[in-house]
Amino acid sequence: MKSSIPLWQRSSVRIVGALVLLIIMGGAVGGIYYTQIPPEQPIPFPHNFHIGVGAQCSYCHTGAATGPNAGLPTTDKCWGCHQQIEPRNDNLKLVASYGAEGKQIPWVPVAIQPDFVVFSHQPHINAELTCETCHGDLTQMTVAEPQKGQNMGWCLDCHQKMSTPEEFVLLSDCATCHY
């Protein structure tokens, strides 16, 4: 017998449709979630501790004042201090092993921009911005965490607040960041 129920009213179709929708939404939520949590690092580097003992940001992230990227430290830099420090726990042992083998620690960068955004640290440092303005209060973090809500509106908001209307013409120009 020919069914008279339209296709979209059939319960099987509806269940399958709902499932597909759920999977898509689940995937979307998962995808968003995973872009908002700190990525797993080879060593859970305690920023708070290092700042506590007096290390300056630019001691390890040397490039910020002179170029587009702040850069990640080499193992040599870690080893400069850590060869004096007893490897008391697993993480310190890990540092020691990288240092002894002369291998680079495969740090995962956290604060990065999408491909179509061109960002340079140098002009921001020249404008006397501090690191925590964008990267958050690292004294409260172990591993670096991605900052929430850092979208284009956030960039422009700051550009507007920090500049005169004439300067804002330059700072809101598309070609400042997109090319």
Binding site for other proteins (CB under 8 A): 23-32, 34-35, 39-40, 62-63, 66-69, 71-76, 104-109, 112-116, 118, 120, 122-123, 126, 151, 169-170, 172-176, 178-179
The secondary structure of 40-68 as a DSSP string is PPSS---HHHHHHTT--HHHHSTTTTTSS
Cβ at position 143, least distance to other proteins in Å: 15
Spatial distance between the Cα atoms of 109 and 21, rounded to a whole number of angstroms:
33
Closest to 108 measured CA to CA, from 44, 52, 33, 63:
44
Spatial distance between the Cα atoms of 179 and 177, rounded to a whole number of angstroms:
7
Nearer to other proteins, 66 or 130 (CB): 66
Cβ at position 150, least distance to other proteins in Å: 11
Cβ at position 45, least distance to other proteins in Å: 13
Matching residue, tokens 């960039």: 155
Nearer to other proteins, 1 or 32 (CB): 32
Closest to 59 measured CA to CA, from 85, 81, 88:
81
Question: What burial class does residue 47 get, using C-beta atoms within 10 Å of its C-beta: 0-12 exposed, 13-18 middle, 19+ buried?
Answer: buried
Nearer to other proteins, 63 or 87 (CB): 63
Cβ at position 167, least distance to other proteins in Å: 10
Cβ at position 123, least distance to other proteins in Å: 6
Amino acid at residue number 20: V
Nearer to other proteins, 16 or 28 (CB): 28
Nearer to other proteins, 120 or 139 (CB): 120
